[in-house]
Amino acid sequence: MSSAYENPILPGFYPDPCILRVDDTFYLINSSFQFFPGLPIHKSKDLINWELVGNVINRPSQLSLQHATTKANNLERREIFAGGLYAPTMRFHNGTFYIVCTNLTGSESMAPETDFEPNTNFLITCTDLSDPAAYSDPMPFDFHGIDPDLFFDDDGKVYMTGSFIHGYRKKPQTVIRQAEIDLTTGKLVTEARDVWAGTGGNCPEGPHLYKKDGWYYLMIAEGGTHRRHKVTMARSKAATGPFEGYEKNPLITAAPGSPITCVGHADLVQDTAGNWWALMLGRRELGERGDSYPLGRETYMVPVDWPEGKFPIFEPVQLQHSLPVSRKSIVGAKQRTSGTEWPVELSSPHTIYVRDATLNNYSAEGAAILLRLTNTELGAMTGSPTFVGQRQTSLMSTASAEIDLAGSAAKNGHAGLAVYKDPFRYASVDVDLSAGQVSLALRHATQDHTISRSKRVVGAAAVKLKIESSVENYSFSYSTLVGERWSTEVELSTIPSSAMSGDDFTGTVFGIYAYGPEDTVKFDSFTIRVD
């Protein structure tokens, strides 16, 4: 066991954490937005070392992410918002896991004043989180909002509480609403009504309802999910309210001067020793100018003291927390991943695609991955580019791929290795299959699609591509196989990590891709290393 732990406890693109405990095992679910499979679930015995056990949305037939588009909300503030799967809640009752979530949809070209539509809110049940087939198809329920929560009361009633959307250009933008729900039909048993408007911050959202010491506690997020984010709470003697806010709100927000910003959207869990913990999202703003945060919003944890009959007291969020003796028996020592390298495999639950993936376009041939080219490029707002990858989980990491040019059927089009965030922001080592040319392909929200530092490749049978990341930069390089000899590695260019940062919802993904006339390109290897 450990006397301290490091934040984030789940690094990389894992926002909006929701946690529960079943016996001695903790389960954690996060948002996934436009990526498939969706809604990843991790498990842990010690709150520090997490294992991905599955994804709730693991079959294309469950729901469509076709309209999980992305809009440039405000480019001056680098606000780029994605649709898709937002802020799930997972709860366990009588042997069954219940997951509720929202699928937000948009149009191919969304004006900043246009809101995503919550089409739809849905319920999924499961009795074995490690079995992809055990997750039910979604059951829709009628609620015009996001961030649904489920609470099972002692009298058998179940309450759905969510963030009702008036409109993000209106005042108020959202309000917390609640209704009793029948989980067998998905029907709301009572009319949804407002139960709390928060403390005055923008966008009251992310509600969770708890019962303790005869009180019902309603915890929410306010201020929007970026630098004004905070966690607040109210309580009532009845599940339906009226709720009275805590006079010492907020329970937690980002500390002035801390590199951890955007702190909010929390959930509470009690360990087997009776200690309380809060998990929440946060963002590490690093680099010399504090403008490097490509991994986006990650999962953090703080100890909580919850006195009987009182409101909980959160410790401030820190990159490293020391622990009192009473908590050391629960929290484990972090298993180090530095220096670890692994192959990206199509069968891994970590492997993700963009929107509604055409899975027939991806196949494995031993250790190799074959991609079928389509005309959908990485910058497409709808459709699914032929792109497969995994979340970047460390700022110090390397992604590498090798294309077998001689063994690929495709002789036209493009293939490469990319760091991808959304259709507005990606950068890649790109191979023009017809021209024998390697280049850095860059798209940024404030720029046109650009190609810089192109290099011709003559007579190469294969090409190795590499992206190295640091706190400050991404660097892009390649080498070629001519005859039986690999060339010296050539660096194409670097871009600042800030180019992949912004007030957004997602984080960076390393992936391989292909587009152009229909045929296949063969990647002999695709690996990621954490340095």
Amino acid at 122: F
Beta bridge partners of 117: 105
Paired tokens of 329: 């028996």
Closest CA to 506 of 53, 85, 143: 85
Cβ(253)–Cβ(276) below 8 Å: no
> Which residue in 16, 356, 377, 503 is the catalytic one?
16
Rounded-to-integer distance, Cα 193 and Cα 240, Å: 9
Instruction: List the beta strands (DSSP E) in 45-192.
Output: 51-57, 70-74, 79-82, 84-93, 96-105, 117-126, 139-141, 145-152, 158-165, 174-182, 187-188
Rounded-to-integer distance, Cα 32 and Cα 80, Å: 15
Cβ(414)–Cβ(405) below 8 Å: no
Radius of gyration of the chain (CA): 23
Paired tokens of 131: 């079995």
DSSP string, 90-107: EEEETTEEEEEEEEEE--
Rounded-to-integer distance, Cα 12 and Cα 26, Å: 19
Active-site residue flag, 247: no
Active-site residue flag, 305: no
Cβ(469)–Cβ(497) below 8 Å: yes
> Which residue in 205, 356, 402, 422 is the catalytic one?
205
Cβ(14)–Cβ(278) below 8 Å: no
| Contacts with 406 (C-beta within 8 Å, 6 or more apart), sequence order | 461, 462
Instruction: List the beta strands (DSSP E) in 287-334.
Output: 297-305, 313-314, 320-322
Enzyme catalytic residues: 16, 205
